[in-house]
Chain A
């Protein structure tokens, strides 16, 4: 199924060492760059449309230009287009304007920034452990940002993350200092798509996962040491640096089912074992080997004679790994389609089958064949007809199971903040100190245990009454409210500008008429304009990417 798997990069590095000159590397390169007969976007549409037929589902049609424009801006850049961009795009008669827009956005610096934000949140979550170290992740984001700016292949940056030898990358491990089990959970969930945590306390009830599988994976992390390299700055600017060391010895001790645990019972050492794979082959340590005592304050340590971390990096990111590429493809797919082909995205397993198994295999193979090129994959997904479906209709599901309609996803806290600035007409607007924190607090985690959106009371009290939000709406020199107030155009045109600026669409006739009478209900327009912009920014239409 994976014809190209012999030509993969990890192996390439070995080839370079072993057989440079014997096998034609040029040949490999040619084979890899050979275009597929069918572009992936068409493969996607074919698979999805066939499933509609099978399920007898009536799908939505293609979305209109303004819906597409807002959607793809939010998904690729984490923001909305300015009024000028929106106006120009809607007026553009070029039949290829969507493809051209996609290409432009993929090459925008904000694209790599947005990817960095998304992956940073994936790797750390809203409330990461080790708060003192993880509050300021500037260095980590710089490190990750460079990877996305260069569009470094997915397997390569993940390998660097596992090796944790580049400045900034160490923080992923540092959040789990002395907690190899927590690290195992996080790593397996994100990069292997496997919810291994059940097996931490008991054998998994629905799958074949055993506790020993969990602790076998933990074996790769148990020898890691987080070495504090010092702290600079203070308060919000406080920045901690780390280095990651690895010891020569140390094993996970396994003491059986948590429920049957007795105090004082010592566990048995568990050898490292790749998930659903072979145990790690490693040289035995001399019988009299004594690990040097690790003192706190240690800033560096020699490389171990045998590095488990390196073995993990090799195994995890290899194309032959049955979990890695599939989990990556599924996760990237869900960024744009709202849900994974396997959903929840980090719960692959015999008890949770993919909705479109062939498509998932196909995406995986092609992702590998394209050398884990994330940008290529994203381009193909957002260029598909499936991604560009309408978002209206009677279907109540926010994340339709068969992708028969675009998903409705809430904007993240970061997106809402950025979008309000753009919509208010001052993208560069500085926000007061606490604004970012308030946005994260009130918009940060809007879902229940199943990932369904839930609006909260505090979110709306904040939107209704806070000066932090009002700062993006009320009249200031040069912003949207100011422009509308100063404009001499007829109200209808000014209303069009307001809608296009905030919602990236023109008003319906009924809406235009309602706003026109609202805005002229008093001789002085200033208050009314502010109120009207507030209304647009408080709509459910604004709250979601649709």
Chain B
């Protein structure tokens, strides 16, 4: 697929971080690790380490914020409990909601954090914060988790985009990492976005592209600036993506997988994510909507869980079956939890004092329930976890140093805020 006449990637030796040295930056350039670099971590060596590990990440995004008390942190007998009953999981003594029966059978794969205490209580700021681990009000162009993973786990010469997303998802994009790592949005059924259907017949398109390759090769003989190369690489990536387009089409396989994942858009998105990560896409995010249940919380959650339960458990089973689970981290989270207090519209509002996020698969110790909330679920009782701690855990599980440093203009910025600590109990 790679045309040999145009190099898609800079040779490492050509690109040895002169610019990075000049700018004191880790954000640019390829190259080997620089000895005597002092306290800085060299991003490219981190990337090559992580790539060697072959790690992937799938984010199941619960848009609006799922209720912890009605899922993984139930409070039977308390005023805050709600109408759902508990069911026993495979983990002795640990029970989850009756509407997660299939997930209950997968608990040995899950690392459940019941003690999220976060700081952005609303949707836009919470969505931003839980995608970047930084506050939106800082007005810095922070990249989303997906863009960071794309940078550190993606292959420059891959046919597929390195950050794919579907459904309702993040709002920060690739931020200071730049357009190279921007999210590629598709529909959960695999439908492609605008401008992915060529208007020319394949033969014309192909001869046209070859003529452009010829011209670029001529141009490259006398012009070496980085900017030109970036343009050429992006063009090749766009062509390769179109050639690999059929991978996004799940029409044929879906009927066979529908039973496992459940017949829903979200389930189909999870199946597609499994397919894409297997094909080398390092980060896929799938959003599920309708969690913002300020009214009729229980109706909403019952309906949502019936979609979520088969989709999520199906994904874990399928990843295990295809031998990918140990390399694929599956994150289940939204932007906020929901209040223990049930309001007068039978709803639950936004809650950030103690809520639940679940990790599974690559790099994560399964069958662990970490942290706890108090008897009524009104606050964290043990082991509070911040946004930064969560991201540090995710990055560590994926082999990316959570203290990786970039520069925005002259300002240094780290992958996670100062003081963030990975949760050791959850890491393999």
Hey, which bits of chain A sit against chain B, CB under 8 A? 195, 198, 206, 344, 347, 351-352, 391-398, 401, 408-410, 445-462, 464-467, 470, 508, 510-511, 514-515, 518, 521, 527, 531-532, 534-536, 538-541, 543-544, 546
Contacts and interface: CB of A to CB of B under 8 A. Distances in A.
B251 interface: no
A457 B222 contact: no
Contacts of B408: 449-450
Interface stretch (B22-30, B43-51, B334-342): B22-30
A423 to B, nearest CB: 15
B207 A531 contact: yes
A457 B410 contact: no
B27 A445 contact: no
Interface of B: 14-15, 18-19, 22-23, 25, 27-28, 141, 161, 175-180, 182, 184, 193-200, 204, 207-208, 211-212, 214-216, 218-219, 222-228, 230-235, 237-239, 241-242, 406-411
Contact of B234 (A401, A460, A544): A460
A395 B198 CA distance: 36
Contact of A514 (B141, B195, B214, B216): B214
B199 A467 contact: yes
A538 B214 contact: no
Nearest to B198: A465
Contacts of A448: 27-28, 176-180
Contact of B410 (A351, A453, A515): A351
A540 B141 contact: no
Contact of B195 (A397, A447, A461): A461
A347 B410 CA distance: 8
A502 to B, nearest CB: 11
B216 A401 contact: no
Nearest to B220: A540
B218 A510 contact: yes
Nearest to A406: B225
Contacts of B239: 460, 464
Given A465-B197, A534-B208, A540-B219, A450 B25 contact: yes
Contacts of A446: 179
B211 A456 contact: no
B230 A395 contact: no
Contacts of B406: 449
A344 B222 CA distance: 28
A343 to B, nearest CB: 10
B230 A455 contact: yes
A484 B28 CA distance: 43
Given A396-B18, A452-B226, 5 more contacts: A395-B224, A448-B178, A450-B407, A458-B182, A541-B223
Given A452-B28, A462-B195, A531-B204, A544 B182 contact: no
Contact of A450 (B15, B28, B208, B225): B28
A134 to B, nearest CB: 17
A344 B410 CA distance: 8
Nearest to B232: A540
A465 B241 CA distance: 13
A470 B204 CA distance: 15
A457 B177 contact: no
Contacts of A449: 27, 141, 175-178, 406-409
A535 to B, nearest CB: 5
Contact of B19 (A195, A397, A454, A508): A397
Nearest to B406: A449
Nearest to B413: A449
Given A449-B141, A450-B27, A465-B199, A457 B208 contact: no
A392 B141 CA distance: 33
Contacts of B233: 455
A347 B228 CA distance: 27
Nearest to A466: B195
Task: Kindly list the 8 A-B residue pairs having the minimum CB-CB distance in the complex, ordered from nearest.
Answer: A455-B234, A448-B178, A449-B176, A456-B179, A460-B238, A449-B408, A540-B231, A453-B227
Most chain A C-beta atoms within 10 Å of own C-beta, residue among B28, B218, B225: B225
Contacts of A450: 23, 25, 27-28, 407-409
A513 B408 CA distance: 46
B175 A527 contact: no
Nearest to B240: A457
Contact of B223 (A392, A465, A466): A392
Most chain A C-beta atoms within 10 Å of own C-beta, residue among B14, B179, B198: B179
A65 B306 CA distance: 69
A252 to B, nearest CB: 18
Most chain B C-beta atoms within 10 Å of own C-beta, residue among A467, A511, A538: A538
Contacts of A535: 208, 211-212, 215
B180 A410 contact: no
A280 B237 CA distance: 57
B228 A540 contact: yes
Contacts of A391: 223, 225
A538 B212 contact: yes
Contacts of B194: 461, 466
B218 A459 contact: no
Most chain B C-beta atoms within 10 Å of own C-beta, residue among A397, A398, A457, A527: A457
Nearest to B211: A535
Contacts of A546: 223, 225
Contacts of A347: 409-410
Contact of B215 (A198, A344, A470, A511): A511
A445 B411 CA distance: 19
Contact of A394 (B25, B184, B224): B224
Nearest to A538: B212
Most chain A C-beta atoms within 10 Å of own C-beta, residue among B178, B218, B223, B231: B231
A514 to B, nearest CB: 6
Contacts of A410: 227
17 contacts: A206-B410, A398-B225, A401-B22, A408-B225, A449-B141, A449-B406, A451-B409, A454-B178, A455-B234, A455-B235, A457-B184, A457-B234, A457-B241, A511-B218, A518-B207, A539-B212, A541-B219
A84 to B, nearest CB: 24
A532 B129 CA distance: 47
Given A449-B409, A464-B198, A397 B225 contact: yes
Given A449-B409, A450-B27, A461-B196, A398 B234 contact: no
